[in-house]
């Protein structure tokens, strides 16, 4: 069932190339809002010095320390911009997700009017579902506290460096697990909002909890597969990007194109996640 959902999702993704480009261009615009001022600050400090040439290679920690020392006030102004950009980008992605899920539920070509209508129709509902999901997120983040409780119970207040290290690794894994479980609930609550005519948020949240509980195994395996695909993409991108570090215009241009290809992949993966989750939920609804 999961394999079939992935195949259907991939075919649906390639049938909606205009939507894929819309997601990519949106990410590019928001990235440029932060990248262009940051590049101007770095260029105004480094200029055409030898330090600027070294920036085409690996990260220069000494240069970063000096940059923060002499351009700290300018860089500190970037932090609010980064926070605002991240916030508005998240809102735009949440807005787009209503239209994307609506299109992924069908099999017809891209229809702009249907997409934008669904975006506006479901956006308010998705915001309310997000607010409803916050108590669940807070509850799930108690999982790392349970690891501390186990450590104190069996090893006391001073368990030693080795035990402390491994429990730190366990706590980090539990935080990722908490985020993954919360994302499962939030994703499938949005899917049910698109599939059902129910407008009351608390009923959609309860339906999403029941759905996730009933089909937890398949939903969790799909989420893990999507996470593995994301990590594989990063593992392919990083070594190639590390090779492109010569201080030449051609190398920098190739690096820029490689970065854009990775951003395009990330945009497609976001849509592929929506599509595969929608296809799996449709298959589960037919079987049960």
The string of pLDDT tens digits covering residues 217-248 is: 999 999 999 999 999 999 999 888 878 776 67
For residue range 130-183, what is the model confidence (pLDDT) as tens digits? Answer: 999 999 889 888 887 787 787 777 777 767 777 777 777 888 888 888 899 999
**Mean pLDDT, all residues of the chain:** 84
Q: What is the distance in angstroms between the CA of the first residue and the CA of the last residue of the chain?
A: 13
Separation between Cα atoms, residue 170 and residue 175, nearest integer Å: 9
More confident residue, 215 or 70: 215
Identify the pLDDT of residue 74: 62
Identify the pLDDT of residue 243: 81
Q: Which residues, in sequence order, are CB contacts of 17 under 8 Å at separation 6+?
A: 110
For residue range 3-24, what is the model confidence (pLDDT) as tens digits? Answer: 898 999 999 999 999 999 999 9
DSSP states along 55-66: TTSS--HHHHHH
Beta carbons within 10 angstroms of residue 93's beta carbon? 15
Identify the pLDDT of residue 169: 81
Label residue 255 by pLDDT band (50, 70, 90): confident
Identify the pLDDT of residue 234: 92
Residue 109 per-residue DSSP state: P
Prediction pTM value = 0.84
CB 133 within 8 A of CB 182: yes
Domain ranges of the chain: 2-287
For residue range 27-40, what is the model confidence (pLDDT) as tens digits? Answer: 999 999 888 887 77
Does pLDDT of 118 surpass 90?
Answer: yes
Separation between Cα atoms, residue 212 and residue 188, nearest integer Å: 8
Q: Which helix (H) or strand (E) holds 160?
A: none
């Amino acid at each position: 069932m999961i394999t079939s959902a992935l195949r259907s999702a991939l075919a649906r993704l390639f049938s909606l190339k205009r939507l894929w480009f819309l997601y990519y261009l949106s990410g590019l615009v928001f990235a440029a809002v932060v990248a262009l001022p940051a590049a101007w600050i770095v260029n105004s400090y480094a200029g055409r010095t030898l330090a600027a040439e070294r920036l085409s290679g690996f990260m220069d920690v000494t240069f970063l320390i000096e940059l923060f020392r002499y351009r700290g006030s300018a860089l500190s102004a970037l932090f609010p911009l980064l926070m605002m950009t991240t916030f508005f980008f998240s809102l735009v992605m949440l807005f787009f997700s209503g239209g994307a899920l609506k299109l992924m539920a069908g099999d017809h070509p891209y229809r702009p009017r249907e997409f934008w209508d669904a975006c506006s129709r479901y956006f308010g509902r998705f915001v309310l579902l997000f607010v409803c999901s916050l108590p669940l997120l807070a509850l799930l983040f108690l999982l790392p506290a349970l690891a501390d409780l186990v450590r104190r119970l069996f090893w006391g207040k001073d368990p030693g460096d080795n035990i402390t290290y491994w429990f730190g690794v366990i706590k980090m894994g539990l935080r990722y697990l908490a985020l993954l479980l919360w994302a499962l609930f939030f994703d499938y609550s949005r899917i049910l909002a698109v599939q059902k005519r129910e407008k009351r948020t608390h009923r959609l949240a309860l339906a999403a909890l029941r759905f996730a509980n009933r089909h937890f195994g398949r939903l969790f395996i799909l989420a893990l597969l999507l996470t593995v695909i994301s990590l594989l993409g990063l593992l392919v991108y990083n070594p190639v990007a590390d090779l492109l570090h010569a201080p030449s215009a051609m190398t920098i241009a190739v690096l820029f194109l490689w970065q854009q290809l990775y951003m395009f992949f990330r945009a497609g993966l976001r849509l592929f996640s929506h599509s595969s989750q929608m296809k799996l939920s449709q298959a589960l609804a037919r079987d049960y």
